[in-house]
Amino acid sequence: MDCPPNPLPDLANMFLFQDVHRDSLSDLLDQCEHTALEGGDVLLAPGTRNHNLYLVLAGKLGVHLDDVDNPAVTHLLPGQCVGEMSLIDEQDTSAYVVAAEPSRLLTISRDTLWLLIERSHTLARNLLAILTGRVRQGNELIVRGMEREKILSAHANQDPLTGLQNRRSLMANLAGMVERARQGGGLLSLVMIDVDHFKKYNDTHGHPAGDAALQAVAVTLNSHLRGHDIAARYGGEEFVVLLPDTTVAAARKTAERLREAVAATAIRQEGQPLPGVTASFGLAHLEAPQDGDALLATADAALYRAKLAGRNCVTE
């Protein structure tokens, strides 16, 4: 809402008017209206046209993206302005600007702003600096948003306990590897791994100890693979390893090396040693008619045979 004009504060202390000779602009500035806002009042909203530049004289404004209920991405304090971008490019505003507390603004219309710019190159320079800062701030928001998206994407594909890929990510990678092997005539082996007697381990030593064991096994598996191999937690105490471009003989050697490494893995919980674990390994190789699900089923059947054979062994 508009309020009666109040004497202008010392505009020279505000960036827009820094080094600007006030005398040459006073007649125009005296014509500018003052706007008073109560806390929560919306000054600008997305999708609406803006015809003014607002200079904050007192109070605080919040800038909100998408919704006024979202946290403010920045706050505007006395001496700062808002509305300059939508005013100059004559496009709809792109964010909500809301009074975070009772505020008083100097309202400079579009026509008055252009007259001010014509009279003062210094004011034009200051406005250009403000616009540049606004663009830079927007770029920083985009970068932060991309970083958050990367983090969320990583969490969506990562098992929170072990840090390995989760089942969802595994299935996506498996489908891609099967397709590439089919098209290029390549090789693909899959190892399904089950930690032996894990329920008994949990019951005897407690679930935190079981978690520590799974984490240790995950680290061991990951550290004994090539860069393009993939280790994933399939669920519970089960893991899956994908071995692309690997011959049958090399896959057997890798599975046996992983089995020995797991059996030799030291497990600690809060610095205290725990008993080690062993694991059973089922190995399968991609055959021409198989898809990813069929390859997993073949490896699962091999894992079952490893358990029947006494566990802590590799079977195909």
Give the mean model confidence (pLDDT) for residues 268-273: 90
Which of 150, 183, 207 is the last residue in one of the domains? 150
Q: Which of 84, 140, 237, 316 is catalytic?
A: 237
**HEC secondary structure over the chain:** CEECCCCCCCHHHCHHHCCCCHHHCHHHHCCCEEEEECCCCEEECCCCCCCEEEEEEECCEEEECCCCCCCCCEEECCCCEECHHHHHHCCCCCCEEEECCCEEEEEEEHHHHHHHHHHCHHHHHHHHHHHHHHHHHHHHHHHHHHHHHHHHHHHHHECCCCCCECHHHHHHHHHHHHHHHHHHCCCEEEEEEEECCHHHHHHHHCHHHHHHHHHHHHHHHHHCCCCCCEEEEEECCEEEEEEECCCHHHHHHHHHHHHHHHHCCCEEECCEEECCCCEEEEEEECCCCCCHHHHHHHHHHHHHHHHHCCCCCEEC
Residue 159 lies in a domain: no
Indicate whether this model's pTM tops 0.75.
no
Which of 122, 150, 178 is the last residue in one of the domains? 150
Shared domain for 75 and 140, answered yes or no, is yes
Shared domain for 121 and 240, answered yes or no, is no
Mean pLDDT of the chain, nearest integer: 88
Res 4 pLDDT > 80: no
CATH number assigned to the domain comprising residue 92: 2.60.120.10
CATH number assigned to the domain comprising residue 302: 3.30.70.270
Residue 33 lies in a domain: yes
Shared domain for 49 and 171, answered yes or no, is no
- In terms of average pLDDT, the best of 9-13, 129-133, 178-182, 197-201 is 197-201
pLDDT for 157-166, tens place per residue?
899 999 999 9
Give the pLDDT of residue 139. Answer: 65
Shared domain for 186 and 311, answered yes or no, is yes
Number of domains forming the structure of the chain? 2
Would residue 90 show up in a list of annotated catalytic residues for this protein? no
Shared domain for 176 and 99, answered yes or no, is no
- 130 or 36, greater pLDDT: 36
Shared domain for 183 and 131, answered yes or no, is no
Shared domain for 130 and 220, answered yes or no, is no
pLDDT for 55-94, tens place per residue?
999 999 999 988 888 899 889 999 888 998 888 888 889 8
Shared domain for 172 and 124, answered yes or no, is no
Give the pLDDT of residue 1. Answer: 46
Residue 160 lies in a domain: no
Shared domain for 205 and 303, answered yes or no, is yes
Weakest-pLDDT range from 36-40, 88-92, 187-191, 231-235: 88-92
Shared domain for 137 and 203, answered yes or no, is no
Residue 201 lies in a domain: yes
Shared domain for 306 and 171, answered yes or no, is yes
Whole domain around residue 27: which residue ranges?
2-150
Shared domain for 133 and 106, answered yes or no, is yes
